[in-house]
Structure 1
Amino acid sequence: MPEDATVQASDSEEWVRLTSSDGYDYLVRKKVALCSGTLRNMLSSESRFSEALSNKVPMNERAVIVEKLCEYLIYKSVYEHAKKNEEIPDFQERVYPEISLELLVAADYYDA
């Protein structure tokens, strides 16, 4: 296998495609997606889920919810190893009140 093909293969495995119920796709790095317990189980190489082979996860959530979940997973990935004295911005300020309940249910399901 040529070196370029190896680099391209590893690059494509770094990304996960999350698809909302209304057909919108979101690409996130795999390390970010693994911040969700449910997605981690789905994408585990030991699992026999099709998501683990394709790096594509269909989600039963509207696009606005999937987008906020992605945003939160990125936030979690960035700040999970923050130092104790480091100031961490409040994520709650980014959540629109009209989607907060739906987002809370989705976050619980995806163990985010």
Structure 2
Amino acid sequence: MSGKDKADPNEDWVRIVSNDGYSFLVKRKVALRSGTLKAMLSEDVNFAEAASKTCEVQERAAVTQLFVEYLVHKTTYEGAPPKEEIPEFMDRIQPQMALELLVAADYLEV
């Protein structure tokens, strides 16, 4: 089998599950933006998350959704040319969720 025939592991899908049971499917390369999720999904370590491609986070769904949206935003606009207008992500965050999201981002190493 040549290298072209093998699927790119970064194109695999992984599931992120909130503490209230909501699931979010994202591409592996998006999830790997988080240091904590990267460690969980590492095949070098025998964590169950790596085998099941499912990571459980201790955040409620609303916070997990914003966190996932941020990872997608970061991945999408990472290589954008300097002149391209990039939408401001902070506009999506409600003030009452800011502290909770900050704590989650710290734990998930973003």
- TM-score (normalised: structure 1): 0.85
Q: Structure 2: give runs of 5+ residues left out of the alignment.
A: 1-5
Kindly indicate whether residue 15 of structure 2 is the aligned counterpart of residue 17 of structure 1: yes
CA RMSD between the two structures = 2.1
Instruction: Identify the structure with the greater helix proportion.
Output: 1
Q: Distance in 1 between matches of 2:76 and 2:34?
A: 14
1:17-53 deviation digits (Å, cap 9, x = unpaired): 1111111111111111011111111111112111111
Aligned letter for 2:98? S
Q: Distance in 2 between matches of 1:37 and 1:85?
A: 29
Q: Structure 1: give runs of 5+ residues left out of the alignment.
A: 1-6
Q: Residues 54-69 of structure 1: matches in 2 within 5 Å?
A: 54-69=52-67
How high is the sequence identity, in percent, across the aligned residues?
Answer: 50
The runs of at least 4 aligned residues of structure 1 exceeding 2 Å deviation read none
1:101 counterpart residue number: 99
Q: Secondary structure at the match of 1:27?
A: strand
- TM-score (normalised: structure 2): 0.87
